[in-house]
Chains A and B, each alone.
Chain A
Amino acid sequence: MKNAKPETGSFFQRDRTWHPPVLTPLYKTSVTRSPQRAPISFANTLSEITGPTFDHEILGALDNDLTLNFARPGESAIGPRIIVYGRVLDERGIGLPNVLVEFWQANAGGRYRHKKDGYLAPLDPNFGGCGRAITDEEGNYSFRTVMPGPYPWPNGPNDWRPAHIHFSVFGHGFVQRLITQMYFEGDPMIWQCPIVGTIPDRAAVEGLIAALDMAATVPMDARAYKFDLVLRGRRSTLFENRMEGN
């Protein structure tokens, strides 16, 4: 197994021309929540190289099935049934084992189970909207859910979010920590959205769009979308380990 020995190298620096900048005025809330001074850099220390890990034992049997994990016995959530699956890799292309992936989303009508969401589309009594998984030895994860609906939000006078699922991923070092959003292939709302529009590079947006994967569907049950997540890579620790294997 590639990662049998924990890695202790420092991380590749973030490409801040690829990520959204802090100030993106068309996404209005960023205006008062964006630092105006430059962030300060320093070499990774142990505080950045290390990070929490999570035991598979924390997972309940339905944690990766949003169609059932909030549903009453014998019932399930309403909406197009889908499987979302993929790998968590780092920038070297190495699958990252044992990393916690958490996801949350609106229901099929675009309504979140959150007291601050006042959208008139109704809640689904059988849908909570949260799930989690821990990657296997090759970095794979998967979950079942229903396809979320688009929803309006008070930004511009007529802004709608594309259908999306929020993802939170850990990696192995605290500075690999990432939150992002997954979009769905072919959704015309993607290119209208001010939050998607915070990302300057079209290729970076395309990296967040999951492809419909008919080969991974379960016939007569659920279609599948494939969504890989890439976290920061890290340097080999040539001076601390034997040269071989680097």
Chain B
Amino acid sequence: MVQQLGRLKESASQTAGPYVHIGLTPNFCGIAGVYPEDLGTRLVGEKTRGERVRIEMRVIDGTGTPLKDVLVETWQADADGLYNSPSETRGAADPHFPGWARIASDMETGLLAFDTVKPGRVPFPDGRMMAPHISLWIVARGINLGLATRLYFSDEEEANAEDPVLTRLEHQNRVPTLIATRRDDTYTFDIHLQGDKETVFFDI
């Protein structure tokens, strides 16, 4: 026998369920008057630095049907590649950009749309620069543990080609599942939970 390490176990995850909106976006689901506004609905203000872009996502199940009860949270650096977090040690991020958003899908169409700025590049631990990306966390009925993935940008071909996360994927034919397509100022990004077009998810 040796001494115990004395660590606790992480609380086990459970699905967010179909009524996740009650807790996380109550105004969106018609519960008015408890909070002045839902958290994470405004990323960009007049003073935010950087290029404004719109992102339109869908999360699609194994039968090809968009989820209409999905909730996605996003986390990204500001236009200069700095995170608005106490754990960011490289400098102060844009005070007018929280970096975090929470988006509930449209209950009829499944569309997840939000306005943000394009993030700057952030270094990998070994110093190489990662391509601009947004971290996504996906929860819904039927998802037992929130799914983590990243959104990269189709007009960053050079940066994507040298990104330390994208280049280390064994199956390079899956890289396109992580790249949002630009048209004008809007990127579209379909997340496939299952099947031939399955998006790459991360255990990080």
Give A contacts to B, CB under 8 Å. 6-8, 12-16, 18-22, 24, 27, 29-37, 39-54, 58, 60, 62-63, 69-70, 89-93, 102-105, 112-117, 128-130, 132, 166, 168, 172-175, 177-181, 195-196, 198-199, 201, 203-205, 207-208, 229-233, 240
Contact = CB atoms under 8 A, between A and B. Distances in A.
B32 to A, nearest CB: 9
B15 to A, nearest CB: 6
A115 B147 CA distance: 26
Given A42-B202, A199-B12, A208-B11, 19 more contacts: A6-B85, A32-B63, A33-B67, A35-B194, A35-B201, A40-B201, A43-B125, A45-B124, A91-B8, A92-B7, A112-B19, A113-B31, A115-B30, A175-B148, A179-B14, A179-B15, A181-B17, A195-B14, A231-B11
Contact of B31 (A91, A116, A130): A130
Contacts of B62: 31-34
A112 to B, nearest CB: 5
16 contacts: A18-B9, A20-B145, A21-B144, A33-B142, A35-B198, A36-B194, A49-B87, A52-B85, A52-B100, A58-B39, A70-B33, A112-B19, A166-B14, A179-B20, A204-B12, A207-B12
Interface in B134-154: 135, 137, 139-148, 150
B204 A48 contact: yes
Across the A-B interface, the 8 shortest Cβ-Cβ residue pairs: A104-B23, A29-B142, A50-B85, A33-B142, A52-B100, A6-B86, A20-B144, A39-B203
B75 A51 contact: yes
A51 B198 CA distance: 27
A66 to B, nearest CB: 9
Q: For chain A, what secondary structure do more than half of its interface residues adopt (helix, strand, loop), or is it mixed? A: loop
A128 B26 contact: yes
A32 B83 contact: no
A91 B10 contact: yes
Contacts of A15: 9-10
B92 interface: no
Contacts of B63: 32
Nearest to B83: A50
Contacts of B202: 39-42
Nearest to B62: A32
B98 interface: yes
B161 interface: no
Contacts of B145: 19-20, 22
Contacts of B13: 19-20, 178-180
Interface in B84-142: 84-89, 98-100, 107, 122-125, 130, 133, 135, 137, 139-142
B168 interface: yes
Contact of B8 (A27, A69, A89, A205): A89
Contact of A20 (B14, B30, B35, B88): B14
B118 to A, nearest CB: 15
A40 to B, nearest CB: 5
B190 interface: no
